[in-house]
Amino acid sequence: MRTIIKALFLLSFSLVILSFISCEKSMDDAVASRIIGKWQWVKTTNPYSGNTTDPGTAGYTQTFEFSTHGFFREYRNGIPVRETSYRVEAVPKDQGFFVLIYGGFNYHCSISGENLEFNDAYVDGPVILFTRLR
């Protein structure tokens, strides 16, 4: 009888763990599908100094491209300057935000409408705004 109870407990525990992993994966996939495409840099703001930089003040344009196969490409003035892989991880406790991982770094991001925001203000970093290109 104890063996059956242990087996049922183990089975139940395994199903709970599998459903959690499955749910986490589908959250990551949902976020990843929203980032696919090309994004044009609009501005970078340092919330602590109040300084803002944009393509006009920086003297260059910047575009990010995310493919469906986890491939990232960065362009400066239309010229590719970096290619690498990327992945996204949803942040379950922080609705609307996700972690974008590429180039060896983790970025706290969100997508609202046609805007992609990199927000590193929580670690005294900049807030970088991109808009989706059609």
Percent of the chain topping pLDDT 70: 76
Q: What is the model's pLDDT at position 33? A: 83
Q: Is 105 helix (H, G, I), strand (E, B) or coil?
A: strand
Residue 85 · residue 99 · CB < 8 Å? no
Q: What is the model's pLDDT at position 7? A: 40
Q: What is the model's pLDDT at position 104? A: 86
Residue 88 · residue 116 · CB < 8 Å? no
CATH code of the domain in which 89 resides: 2.40.128
Q: Which domain holds residue 50?
A: 2-132
Q: What is the model's pLDDT at position 96? A: 75
- Residue 80 phi/psi, 5-degree rounding, is -60, 130
Q: Give the model confidence (pLDDT) of 107-132 as tens digits.
A: 999 999 999 999 987 778 899 999 99
DSSP letter at 68 equals: T
Residue 75 · residue 66 · CB < 8 Å? no
pLDDT < 50: residue spans in the chain: 6-25, 27
DSSP letter at 95 equals: T
Count of structural domains within the chain: 1
